[in-house]
Amino acid sequence: MIKIPLKNGPNSERKKTSGLMMSRIIGYITMALMMALLLFFLVIPIGNIIVKAFYNGEAFTLQYFQLLFASSLQTESLINSLWIGCSTVIFATLLTVPLALINVCYEYPGKGLMSGLLLVPLVMPPFVGAIGFQRFFAKLGTVNLLLLDWGVITKPIDWLAEANMLWVVVILEVLHLYPILYLNISAALANVDPSMEEMAEISGAGRFRIFKDIAWPLARPGYFAGVIIVFIWAFTDLGTPLLVGFNETIPVRIFNMVTDINENPVGFALVFVVIVLTILLFLISKKMLGKHNYQMMAKGHVTKRSGQPHLGIVLGIYALIGGVVFFALIPHISVFLTSISGDWFMTPLPTSLTSEHYVAVFNQELSLIGIKNSFIFAGFSTFIDFLLGVLIAYVVTRKLIPLAGWLDSLVMIPLALPGIVLAFGYVVTYSNTFLDPMNNPVPLLIIAYAIRRLPYMVRAASAGLEQLSVSLEEASETFGASRIYTLRKITIPLVTANLIAGSLLCFSYAMLDVSDSLILAMKDRFYPITKAIYALFLEHGTGEFTASALGMIAMGILSLSIIGSSLLLGKKMGEIFRS
């Protein structure tokens, strides 16, 4: 039996003082690293855009904004993007609130499976789903051919007509983003103190009034946290409108202006408007929530209905969730069928199947370059996120420095700034320098991936550290272990599951990043997987099929990562997607 003598006396006091000093040093070094990273790769690029939006090289000017708002094309694009963001939030809310209430309030057979199926759309970004969606809803696509065969219609409906393209984008965004809102609402409702509902029920309040006056006000912060992410994601999504051919959106306009920004400086004004809108959204949401600071004595799960729901309710739940999952899976199914179709012309489904498109992926240089580059870029960015995320989460949860809370807010800033804004800022700021993306975008791509996914890593690590008793670390330090040794041998091993989950999320979302990849990767040899999918899709002939096969491979990588993260984090998964 090994005996560890307890350190007492002056030496113990010196070690305690030394440990406290080391903690402060770790905290301030972490703060300095984070501030330096944000300064060079967030503040300076954004500041550069703002300066160029108001300065023409000689004097202050509003000319670029006058040109921007004088252009009907630009104003229409701005309105369209706002409409996409708002519509996505509205329809996602109408879809997820009932689903969250059902899964929080009811126990029914197969609940775990059904809840898991609702998260399936997270495994494929709408960027990839848009490829198959077009084949299903083309004028002579699957849907029209089936409706014609069944005698429902007499002539094909032009689902993808120019007048409908905005709604096509909205549908794809809702089908992809509703799980984020669902996770936030479910987590928020599950944390409502059950005693408050019990008291209201004893007082004679009905279920609807309990939800309206108690559960919803208490869950509203979680809801708004999800709304912010969903709106910004839909408002600034570049890939979906680009692939469906709806060019009248702000992200597509910015994307088209990157290559000729020196000749067309209106792009600076356009990006500045996006920055102002996203910041205003955050400020307004914080202000709204600040006016109603509802608090609970404790957290717990919402009181479930007594007993099991009767068969009619169970069947209704299955029908609702099954219908949502079916429609959400349409883009996935269509991409999969496209990737294995041998002969698919004027028939609802492929008449023959083949694996040649997957073979083509591994025989084509462009797709192999995309896969290899994405693994390298995402791997390095995840490593950066791991190191910084663990340090930041440790400093914040253990409050090693007086500004720990401020550091936590600082880390969340990248969530408020769309990827397309950062990528545009990098092109403007670092052109004609050693970081010029025209020559070699690899450093900027890795940094962009890392900065934008760092909040996920911090949230995952923080969730684990908050559950870990501080007394274990204090006991280690009492026996003479240094803060670094304790962190390495005790703290990190005990939160390994959270760190792996956060790393998987960072890696998978970096692998399928769209905005940074499409804008910064300007040469074939630097294409990540999403830029390779886009380039293949534009090729005539078999390009669509090879792009679908490559998209399915990307979806498989993301699926495994998200499933692994969900298993490791469990009910804490929703906290990852909170701002």
| 574: pLDDT strictly greater than 60 | no
pLDDT at 363 over 80: yes
Whether the CB-CB separation of 258 and 267 falls below 8 Å is answered with yes
**pLDDT band with cut points at 50, 70 and 90 for residue 19:** low
pLDDT at 469: 74
Mean pLDDT value across residues 551-570 = 74
Instruction: Tell me which CATH code domain 69-211+237-263+292-337 carries.
Output: 1.10.3720.10
Q: Average of pLDDT values for 513-540?
A: 91
* DSSP state letters, 162-173: GGGHHHHHHHHH
Of 355 and 115, more confident: 355
pLDDT digits (tens, 9 = 90+) for 275-313: 998 888 777 766 665 555 555 444 444 444 444 677 888
Q: Summarize the confidence of residues 521-538 as an average pLDDT.
A: 92
Q: Do domains 10-52+355-579 and 69-211+237-263+292-337 have the same CATH topology?
A: yes
Q: Which pLDDT score, from 0 to 100, does residue 304 have?
A: 45
Q: Which residue has the higher pLDDT, 207 or 252?
A: 252
Instruction: State which H helix or E strand residue 353 sits in.
Output: strand 352-353
What pLDDT, on a 0 to 100 scale, did the predictor assign at position 492? 79
Instruction: Yes or no: say if 271 and 421 are a contact pair by the CB < 8 Å rule.
Output: yes
Q: What is the pTM of this model?
A: 0.83
Q: Which residue has the higher pLDDT, 146 or 5?
A: 146
Percent of the chain with pLDDT over 90: 31
The model's confidence at residue 15, banded by pLDDT at 50, 70 and 90, is low
Q: What is the mean pLDDT of residues 23-46?
A: 88
Of residues 39 and 332, the one with the higher pLDDT is 39
Name the most confidently modeled range: 52-61, 123-132, 357-366.
Answer: 357-366
pLDDT exceeds 70 at position 395: yes
Percent of the chain with pLDDT over 70: 85
pLDDT of 181 strictly over 50: yes
Q: Are 353 and 341 in contact (CB under 8 A)?
A: yes
Q: Give the model confidence (pLDDT) of 446-475 as tens digits.
A: 999 999 999 888 988 887 888 777 777 777
Please give the Cα distance from 138 to 25 (Å, whole number): 61
Greater pLDDT, 8 or 511: 511
Show me where the domains of the chain are located.
10-52+355-579, 69-211+237-263+292-337
| Residue of 525 and 310 predicted with greater confidence | 525
- Mean pLDDT computed over 88-96: 94
Distance CA 135, CA 424 (A): 32
Cα distances (angstroms) measured from residue 578 to each of 140, 225, 416, 434, 502: 42, 5, 11, 36, 14
208-239 as b/e, with b when 16 or more CB fall inside 10 Å? Answer: eebbeebbbebbbbbbbbbbbbbbbbbbbbbb
Mean pLDDT of 81-105: 90
- Lowest-confidence region among 128-132, 173-177, 189-193: 189-193
Is the domain covering 10-52+355-579 a CATH 3.90.1480.20 domain? no
Segment 478-518, tens digit of pLDDT: 777 777 777 778 887 888 878 887 888 788 889 888 899 99
Comparing 308 with 140, the larger pLDDT belongs to: 140
Residue-level pLDDT at 4: 44
193-202, 227-236, 284-293, 372-381: lowest mean pLDDT where?
284-293
What sign does the dihedral 119-412-127-439 (CA atoms) show?
negative
In degrees rounded to 5, what are phi and psi of residue 5? -65, 140
341 beta partners: 353
pLDDT at 5: 47
The answer to whether 249 and 74 have CB atoms below 8 angstroms apart is no
CA 197 to chain centre: 33
pLDDT band at 369 (very low <50, low <70, confident <90, very high): very high
The whole-angstrom separation of Cα 566 and Cα 378 is 20
Q: Tokens 């898991």: give the residue.
A: 116
In the structure, what pLDDT confidence band is assigned to residue 225 with cuts at 50, 70 and 90?
confident
Mean pLDDT of the chain: 82
